Structure 1
Amino acid sequence: MVETVTSPPSTTGVASKENTRFLASDLCAYLDSYLEPEQVSEVYKAYLFGAEAHDGQTRLSGEPYIYHPLAVAKTMAEMRMDHKSIIAAILHDVMEDTHISKERIITEFGEDVAELVDGVSKLTHLKFRSKAEAQAENFRKMMLAITKDLRVILVKLADRLHNMRTLGVMRPDKRRRIARETLEIYAPIAQRLGMNAIRRELEQLGFGAMYPNRFKVLQDSVNRARGNRKEVMQKIETAICGRMEEAGIEARIVGREKNLYSIYRKMKQKRLSFTEVFDVFAVRIVVSDVDTCYRALGVVHNLYKPVPGRFKDYIAIPKANGYQSLHTVLFGPHGIPIEIQVRTEEMDRVAESGIAAHWLYKAGDSHSATAQARAREWLKGVLEIQQSAGNSIEFLENVKVDLFPEEVYIFTPRGEIMELPKGSTAVDFAYAVHSDVGNTCVAVKIDRRLAPLSSHLFSGQTVEIITAPGARPNPAWLSFVVTGKARSSIRHYLKNLRDDEAVSLGRRLLDKALVAYGSSLERVAPDRLESLITELKQPSLDALLMDIGLGNRMAGLVARRLCGAEDDSGAVMQTAPDRPLAVKGTEGMVLSFARCCYPIPGDPIVGVISTGRGLVVHRETCRNVAEFRDKPDKWIPVEWSPEPGVEYQAAIRVQTANQRGVLASLATVIADMGSNIENVSFDERDGATTTITFTLSTKDRRHLANMMRRMRRLPEVMKIQRARG
């Protein structure tokens, strides 16, 4: 049997859907159909509690305030939510708008309900510098509550839906602000959670409130064009029905119509005219099982020719929100494009209800469980973004970007499929596999060819990550990774790495300071050490050493307190020579080389303790060191290790004749001398000469001097000198 249903035209606009008031008795009658009697009684008790709390309050429309919570509860009941969610919907504004406290709700209705209500409530008791900061912080609070309980967002979406349905009474500026927030945040969240029915209505209402004139023009255009389409649509549906019956496939065929916001967005993004968007006919075919989906697809492909490259299999590879369906585009009668979706009844329910389907059809519905699992996976990513975000506004912007990225589907070498946001790189893929794989990745093969780690990935590629045990994340990766997991993992690793290196440097600095007192860290009495750690309010010796290594505490002062005149052991200041700290260049993130003077082995150097950064090495002649002349406690005598462990950067300035091929000649000399160009910049003085500044890798002063000598021999080079940063 083939059933055809033409979906009714969307009538949702700025006008309210709440034509009649929904009463508590109506709610209880509806809940009787799927809840236990004692649970319905609990809901009615919540209604009485809420009505008393909101007594005397009215909405802008003039009606008693309690009608709003009841309408929110009605939407939740239509999703067949559990009784605690319904109670939370009725009470969702009591903490924010009345004198009722969270403790009172816990006493009356339990902790679960109180947490749900608290998750939806705004932060009214805090002061913010701006409206944007307040909105962002409230959004952060709500998102963190959702990570604990998904029902928070369902209450919030139902609340937003009723507010949008009754938006007409607001001032125009407030209408637009709420509509923009709905279109930018709440509709995408509904889509991210697979709740397409609510998402479509939020978009339609938001579009109507945000752009009332555009909405009216488009709606009039749709109404005019609809009459011409009926006959064509009927012909397409009849043809599909006939073929399905011939093939013995039972199906429900639904003629779909795009909502106005979808049409508007497509016209705007792709710069299409209304007729180009509206000329596409859409049909949904709903069948009993997955096998029949593919059989039905074959039937429609035999009926009308498919458009090459427009087939998508979201059954084998579901979307990030759990959505599953087969999508194809066909050349219909007279060349009319037809969009076809083929899915099962369960997939159709999940496509409309998303995570709400978990409560709507709990028994034996693996698809809704998958939708909820994917929602939790997304929220886990949101939690990682929150941990790495600097403030609530940054968090909000990151979540906006993360809300609905288009997905790319990547294959592992074993043929497993991984889903990543559009624009993801090889490093994002490595962290998606596992944090340890990301932390130790050194190279990548894309479709069996070596590629840079910053390479953007595209659907269908096979990606193999090459790791090395001693490798570690590069801070430069933060400039191109796009996923929350990669970003937070890199930051976390680098922070821990810096802490370990700070402890190591702090130990060396304290030991060096103790030499002046004829002591060392190993020789300091344990009780004396413990006493000082307690006195300085540090949790451990490592924490104290980290503070020293990061430059937050002076090693000399700590050494004096450990071995000063007040020490019972009678240790006194020694006159032994102050041995400089040996610098290799491999000390890590807490020892850096100043970019203002680019010190290299062979240069006389000095170390300056910089708060939060650790030890910064400068050339002794660097003008930026002058400001520390009167702060001897910030100075650390340092010297180059006999065997430097890395190459260093140096800057040279070359004045050349403005001739063709000069840069190539200089680059050849640099390469022949075993160096690498890290950066190059030009400063054209006049038409005859050009000044080129190179930042080069070099081993030491001798290596750099030999390089400069070779360059000076070039006939085009007029002057060459070592440059400051």
Structure 2
Amino acid sequence: MADYVIDIEAENKEIRKRYRALLRACKPTLQKGDKQEIRKAFDLALESHKDMRRKSGEPYIYHPIAVAQIAAEEIGLGTTSIVCSLLHDVVEDTSLTLEDIEAQFGKKVAKIIDGLTKISGVFDPNSSMQAENFRKMLLTLADDVRVILIKLADRLHNMRTMEFMARHKQLKIASETSYLYAPLAHRLGLYAIKSELEDLSMKYTDPDTYKFIAKKLNEKKAERERFISNFIAPINEILIEQGIKAEIYGRPKSIHSIWNKMRKKSIPFEEVYDLFAIRVIIDSEYEKEKTECWKVYSIITDLYRPNPDRLRDWVSTPKGNGYESLHTTVMGPKGQWVEVQIRTKRMNEIAEKGFAAHWKYKESNSDNGLDQWIQKVRDILGSPEQNALDFLDDFKMNLFSDEIFIFTPKGTLIQLPNGATALDFAFEIHSDIGATCIGAKVNHKLVPLSHHLQNGDQVEIITSNKQTPKEDWLNFVVTAKAKSKIRSSLKEEKRKIAEEGKEILERKLKSLKITYNTDNINKIANYFKFPSSQELFFNVAKGSIDIKSLREYAASEKIHEHNNNQFSSHISGLVEKINKKENETILIGDDLQKVDYTLAPCCNPIPGDDIFGFLTVNDGIKIHRTSCPNASKLMANYGYRILKAQWSSSQIETSFLTGIRIIGIDDVGLVNKLTTVISQEFKVNIRSLSISSNQGIFEGDIMVHINNLDHLDDLINRLKLVSGITSVTRYESEN
């Protein structure tokens, strides 16, 4: 700013000049009354920012005029967006309120300005706050996409004029731009803006490489232009002969894309062959577009030999952001590979101006990829429980991903990011289908959930009402929608388990004569180093905290509840008598104790399980797992008949009945493989075996005699290694 000399008269002249340039840019979209509305917004912005200057020393009004011009000229937005661009900083930087804006320009403009104000400011790229702000920005996208488009115009002008900022701010803004704004521009179809944002980011984050590539491109410029001229001359000649109206020109690749190629392929600048692309823009009626694109493709490939592996047809199946074009790579006259892009004027406008052009052509074009994508954004944002940073990572990953096209059994086309799995496809169809998915048929062949889909696959999803989302699913799904729904389901499941844990803990504390209240729960959570009471309840339900641990806590805290109530019934007296023996605990498997008990068939406890005893009226003591389906009911209604029990460390070698549930892809010899592992490898006796097969998915329930919990865990882990098996779990009962 020190070098800038303020000359008010010259500045006013420059402001008028820039305003007239803005009006010229708006002219194609202006309707009656629009010019007056833009003038009113310009006058208000000029008055509001009259005493403000940019870091360069220039009048601040230069910035909103430039943003409005980018919105009009480079994105193709209309009058409402021009007005909002001129006013985008007035609420944040001046005393004007949204009510003032609404009074002068109406609700629509005020709403967009509100969205722009909420997402303004530089985010901290290392904090969750940025992720939350980005979520807010995407909420505005789902509401009115113009907020994001104007924000991109704002960011582009800031990047173009960042040389006067401090170095640390340059790095911060450039990093944020390449991480979020460039991918967002890409997803909205603004390829020119995306490329410029990437180049400008690189200019500040890696200035040496940027200058090196820019210098090399400049050195080769004359040679490149001669080559392009010679390449397109024969194509032009044939197009004119055949009466095809088209414009052909060469377009240099961006510095960032050239650097990406050098980095990914580990090659020097000299070995990057596609430093430019040839673009053919056909003047065609909408109904004839596809035919004429392929006709031009035929002309070019007759002249130059094509590389069949490099053909990309986005005319038949447009990208999710609306992009349509035929891409091919052909051998030039000097043996050099040349990329050629063939598209119509309409397609080119969508490619250059993204969503704004897509919206313009929406009535005449059945493609609604961008509408579907914005609907996906709404779906993802509809899960408020998702961690903001997880959301940001998932969303960022899906912004830049290439797409594949998958068919349902009825022929419906589904777009997914490259690398998507069968499970991603299931969630894309419907959340409930994804949550209950146990397998899929890809091109009529059974595959597991983690199977990576290929372009053109036909996929049929197989579900089971016994299936629920698993944590390991997050290791292989790639779409933001799938991850969001899985996390949401797991969180809900954890909440339910925590509720059970809360009831279990309440009963355990009562048996230890510890008062159940918020203060004590917080103390217990701190004692076991859990961040919240919910984590405590969850771990209690999972058996991570047993009665012994709580007894140790009680001893250390000395917060026993003083309860002088006496057991009055015969059963209560018997319970008390038993509990006084052997440290108040029944030792299961210790013959010296001579306690008459049986193992409950409803849950089949085995050594290693967390257990309790229940004194029945006619059958003596029944030993249950604390996770038994009946445990909650017994403890809640008959707490005075609950006995503390644990497995004896010196128990005699014996076996215990338990159940294993196995799910997998049905295959010849699968049952034989399973029984070989159980009977021969582990020397385990099989009590019963029940199997069923549905649409190629095998489900089996096996009752086996096991020594203890470790023995069972080892067997389950080994069975999981059998080819085709997708799930092995313990289940409660053979009934």
The TM-score, its normalising length taken from structure 2, stands at 0.67
Check if 1:459 corresponds to 2:455.
Answer: yes
Residue by residue over 1:689-716, the C-alpha shift from the partner in whole angstroms, topping out at 9 and shown as x without a partner, is xxxxxxxx984555889999x9xxxxxx
1:474 alignment partner in structure 2: 470
Check if 1:404 corresponds to 2:400.
Answer: yes
Provide the secondary structure at the position in 2 that maps to 1:647. Answer: strand
Matches within 5 A, 1:151-300: 151-278=146-273, 282-287=277-282, 288=284, 289-300=289-300
Q: 1:286 to 1:648 in 2, by over 3 A?
A: closer
Matches within 5 A, 1:6-85: 21=15, 23-28=18-23, 30-31=25-26, 33-78=28-73, 79-85=75-81
Matches within 5 A, 1:125-144: 132-144=127-139
Check if 1:647 corresponds to 2:647.
Answer: no
1:670 alignment partner in structure 2: 681
Check if 1:387 corresponds to 2:398.
Answer: no
Residue by residue over 1:45-80, the C-alpha shift from the partner in whole angstroms, topping out at 9 and shown as x without a partner, is 222322333231111111221221121112222244
Check if 1:366 corresponds to 2:365.
Answer: yes
What is the letter of the counterpart of residue 381 of structure 2? L
What is the letter of the counterpart of residue 318 of structure 1? P
* Structure 1 residue ranges without an equivalent (≥5): 1-18, 515-545, 554-570, 588-598, 609-614, 620-631, 650-664, 676-696, 711-725
- Following superposition, the deviation at residue 423 of structure 1 comes to 2.2
What is the letter of the counterpart of residue 277 of structure 1? V
Of 138, 143, 146, which residue of structure 2 is paired with 1:148? 143
What is the root-mean-square deviation of aligned Cα atoms in Å?
4.6
1:88 alignment partner in structure 2: 84
Instruction: Find the aligned partners of 1:294 and 1:387 in 2 and give their Cα distance.
Output: 46
Instruction: Find the aligned partners of 1:250 and 1:327 in 2 and give their Cα distance.
Output: 19
Provide the secondary structure at the position in 1 that maps to 2:415. Answer: strand
Asked if 2 retains the 8 angstrom alpha-carbon contact of 1:413 and 1:464, the reply is yes
Instruction: Find the aligned partners of 1:158 and 1:347 in 2 and give their Cα distance.
Output: 22
1:528 alignment partner in structure 2: none
Deviates more, 1:191-200 or 1:209-218: 209-218
Asked if 2 retains the 8 angstrom alpha-carbon contact of 1:323 and 1:371, the reply is no
- Following superposition, the deviation at residue 151 of structure 1 comes to 0.5
Instruction: Find the aligned partners of 1:321 and 1:486 in 2 and give their Cα distance.
Output: 20
Q: 1:178 to 1:703 in 2, by over 3 A?
A: closer
Provide the secondary structure at the position in 2 that maps to 1:341. Answer: strand
Asked if 2 retains the 8 angstrom alpha-carbon contact of 1:442 and 1:468, the reply is yes
Asked if 2 retains the 8 angstrom alpha-carbon contact of 1:243 and 1:303, the reply is no
Check if 1:318 corresponds to 2:318.
Answer: yes
Residue by residue over 1:505-552, the C-alpha shift from the partner in whole angstroms, topping out at 9 and shown as x without a partner, is 9899999999xxxxxxxxxxxxxxxxxxxxxxxxxxxxxxx9999799
Quick one: percent identity of the two aligned structures? 35
Structure with bigger RCO (C-alpha 8 Å, 6+ apart): 1
- Alignment size in residue pairs: 571
What is the letter of the counterpart of residue 164 of structure 1? M
Provide the secondary structure at the position in 2 that maps to 1:409. Answer: strand
Provide the secondary structure at the position in 1 that maps to 2:211. Answer: helix
1:691 alignment partner in structure 2: none
Instruction: Find the aligned partners of 1:142 and 1:375 in 2 and give their Cα distance.
Output: 15
Asked if 2 retains the 8 angstrom alpha-carbon contact of 1:204 and 1:261, the reply is yes
What is the letter of the counterpart of residue 110 of structure 1? G
Provide the secondary structure at the position in 2 that maps to 1:81. Answer: coil
Asked if 1 retains the 8 angstrom alpha-carbon contact of 2:607 and 2:709, the reply is no
What is the letter of the counterpart of residue 647 of structure 1? I
Provide the secondary structure at the position in 2 that maps to 1:194. Answer: coil
Of 423, 427, 432, which residue of structure 2 is paired with 1:431? 427
Asked if 2 retains the 8 angstrom alpha-carbon contact of 1:244 and 1:250, the reply is yes
Provide the secondary structure at the position in 2 that maps to 1:188. Answer: helix
Instruction: Find the aligned partners of 1:705 and 1:100 in 2 and give their Cα distance.
Output: 70
2:351 alignment partner in structure 1: 351
Q: 1:551 to 1:240 in 2, by over 3 A?
A: closer
Q: 1:104 to 1:305 in 2, by over 3 A?
A: same
Q: 1:636 to 1:319 in 2, by over 3 A?
A: farther
What is the letter of the counterpart of residue 386 of structure 2? A
Check if 1:601 corresponds to 2:631.
Answer: no
Provide the secondary structure at the position in 2 that maps to 1:461. Answer: coil
- Following superposition, the deviation at residue 259 of structure 1 comes to 1.8
Instruction: Find the aligned partners of 1:387 and 1:583 in 2 and give their Cα distance.
Output: 45
Asked if 2 retains the 8 angstrom alpha-carbon contact of 1:585 and 1:646, the reply is no
Asked if 2 retains the 8 angstrom alpha-carbon contact of 1:263 and 1:278, the reply is no
- Following superposition, the deviation at residue 37 of structure 1 comes to 4.0
Residue by residue over 1:169-195, the C-alpha shift from the partner in whole angstroms, topping out at 9 and shown as x without a partner, is 112332222222222211111111001
Residue by residue over 1:598-643, the C-alpha shift from the partner in whole angstroms, topping out at 9 and shown as x without a partner, is x9435674479xxxxxx99499xxxxxxxxxxxx99x996899xx9
- Following superposition, the deviation at residue 133 of structure 1 comes to 4.2
Asked if 1 retains the 8 angstrom alpha-carbon contact of 2:497 and 2:538, the reply is no
Q: 1:38 to 1:228 in 2, by over 3 A?
A: closer
- Following superposition, the deviation at residue 313 of structure 1 comes to 0.9
Provide the secondary structure at the position in 2 that maps to 1:445. Answer: strand
What is the letter of the counterpart of residue 38 of structure 1? G
Provide the secondary structure at the position in 2 that maps to 1:121. Answer: helix
Matches within 5 A, 1:498-509: none
Q: 1:121 to 1:64 in 2, by over 3 A?
A: same
Deviates more, 1:372-381 or 1:40-49: 372-381
1:416 alignment partner in structure 2: 412
Deviates more, 1:22-31 or 1:74-83: 22-31
Instruction: Find the aligned partners of 2:472 and 2:29 in 1 and give their Cα distance.
Output: 56
What is the letter of the counterpart of residue 107 of structure 1? A
Provide the secondary structure at the position in 1 that maps to 2:478. Answer: coil
Q: 1:257 to 1:447 in 2, by over 3 A?
A: same
- Following superposition, the deviation at residue 248 of structure 1 comes to 4.4
Provide the secondary structure at the position in 2 that maps to 1:333. Answer: coil
Instruction: Find the aligned partners of 2:275 and 2:256 in 1 and give their Cα distance.
Output: 16
Instruction: Find the aligned partners of 1:326 and 1:366 in 2 and give their Cα distance.
Output: 18
Q: 1:246 to 1:70 in 2, by over 3 A?
A: closer
1:693 alignment partner in structure 2: none
Instruction: Find the aligned partners of 2:256 and 2:428 in 1 and give their Cα distance.
Output: 34
1:112 alignment partner in structure 2: 108
Provide the secondary structure at the position in 1 that maps to 2:102. Answer: helix
Asked if 2 retains the 8 angstrom alpha-carbon contact of 1:408 and 1:421, the reply is yes
- Following superposition, the deviation at residue 277 of structure 1 comes to 1.5
1:563 alignment partner in structure 2: none
The TM-score, its normalising length taken from structure 1, stands at 0.68
- Following superposition, the deviation at residue 202 of structure 1 comes to 1.8
Provide the secondary structure at the position in 2 that maps to 1:428. Answer: helix
Asked if 2 retains the 8 angstrom alpha-carbon contact of 1:254 and 1:285, the reply is yes
Provide the secondary structure at the position in 1 that maps to 2:253. Answer: coil
Instruction: Find the aligned partners of 1:157 and 1:475 in 2 and give their Cα distance.
Output: 37
Instruction: Find the aligned partners of 1:252 and 1:414 in 2 and give their Cα distance.
Output: 41
What is the letter of the counterpart of residue 470 of structure 2? N
Q: 1:261 to 1:639 in 2, by over 3 A?
A: same
Instruction: Find the aligned partners of 1:321 and 1:20 in 2 and give their Cα distance.
Output: 38
Instruction: Find the aligned partners of 1:437 and 1:584 in 2 and give their Cα distance.
Output: 36
Instruction: Find the aligned partners of 1:547 and 1:258 in 2 and give their Cα distance.
Output: 53
- Following superposition, the deviation at residue 429 of structure 1 comes to 1.1
Provide the secondary structure at the position in 1 that maps to 2:368. Answer: helix
Provide the secondary structure at the position in 2 that maps to 1:169. Answer: coil
Q: 1:478 to 1:101 in 2, by over 3 A?
A: same
What is the letter of the counterpart of residue 116 of structure 1? I
Q: 1:266 to 1:30 in 2, by over 3 A?
A: closer
* Structure 2 residue ranges without an equivalent (≥5): 1-12, 511-533, 542-564, 576-585, 587-597, 614-623, 629-638, 648-655, 663-675, 687-701, 716-735
Asked if 1 retains the 8 angstrom alpha-carbon contact of 2:49 and 2:90, the reply is yes
Instruction: Find the aligned partners of 1:618 and 1:129 in 2 and give their Cα distance.
Output: 45
